[in-house]
Amino acid sequence: MVFFIGVLRYAGRDLMMGKGKKDPDPINISQDMLKNDELIDLAEIQSEIEGHEYMNNALTRSARFRTNCDFLPPDSVKLRKAYFCRNETGYFRKEVANNPLQAMMNPEMMTGMLKGQFFMTIFNFGLISLTSTFFSGFVNAKMPFPLAQSFRSMLQQGLTLSNLDVRYVSSFSWCILCIYGLQGLQNLITGTGSMKEEMEMMTGGMMGGQQKGGMPGQPKDFTKIFKGEIENYEILTSKFSLEHAEKQVLLQHRHTKKMRF
């Protein structure tokens, strides 16, 4: 009978694999503004769009520049650095006031992203509680390795025999083992598994660390972000990697008969 319970659990996991596709689309501020259902005069939101667009674009542009600065000759690198960081007139030295309208736009982003996350975590919790209520009191599996006694309360939740070897675990722990163990397989079968949102919640989100304001719920603090960018530029070292480009081309073709030196 325990065998059948194990099989049923496995079938439950297979079901879960198919429901892992709740990826919400990444949301841009500017896209959000333009996707409103009401008809809005361009003039009304022109000022908002301008401010946000330029700030978003400047940040992404400077990030891209920093990653690819090796392809530019050193003078161009200096020029761009100066544009961003020059004292008094550089782009990132601007003082930016926090727009109160920002706080209004953010709840939309919040519901978009967190909906997917909450749904999947609630689904997981629901599954765990369902299995533990249905299949309580069954000894489900025997672990092939010896465990410490302190794990007893965690692994043998519904079992009445209190002196049972810790190697015999309840169905609850088998459920958790299945969830975490089959994520790898889920990643192969579907695009990504259903735990991507849970992992994101636990590690604080991928983009939250970058933007320093936190993506959901907080107005972006541009002064801090700009200061961070200026510091990034201070530690930036770039080596012009195309400096010897001509030499490399000649080396490549030195065996061609047409070239004679």
Partner 1 sequence: MDPKRRIKKEEVIRTSKEAEMFNDALVAKAKVLGFITGGMVAGTLGLEGVQGFIFYFITHIICSACICFSLNFTAMPFFKDLSAIMTGNIFTNLLSYLLFWVMFYNLIYVL
> Closest distance between partner 1 and the C-beta of residue 59, in Å?
19
- 21, 78, 94, 142: which one binds partner 1 (CB under 8 A): 142
Instruction: Kindly tell me which of 254 and 260 has the beta carbon lying closer to partner 1.
Output: 254
Instruction: Please choose, out of 26-34, 150-158, 225-233, 245-253, the segment that lies near partner 1 by the rule CB under 8 A.
Output: 245-253
Instruction: Kindly tell me which of 104 and 251 has the beta carbon lying closer to partner 1.
Output: 251
Instruction: Please choose, out of 80-88, 152-160, 220-228, 244-252, the segment that lies near partner 1 by the rule CB under 8 A.
Output: 244-252
Strands 139-142 and 168-170: antiparallel
Pick out residues in 73-102 that bind partner 1 (CB under 8 A): none
- 15, 39, 89, 146: which one binds partner 1 (CB under 8 A): 146
Size of the site for partner 1 (CB under 8 A): 28
Residues 156-195: x/- map of binding to partner 1 (CB under 8 A)? ------------------x--xx-xxxxxx-xx-------
> Closest distance between partner 1 and the C-beta of residue 114, in Å?
26
Q: Cα(24)–Cα(140) distance, rounded to whole angstroms?
A: 37
Instruction: Kindly tell me which of 126 and 184 has the beta carbon lying closer to partner 1.
Output: 184
Binding residues for partner 1 (CB under 8 A): 2-3, 6, 10, 67, 70, 141-146, 174, 177-178, 180-185, 187-188, 241, 244, 247-248, 251
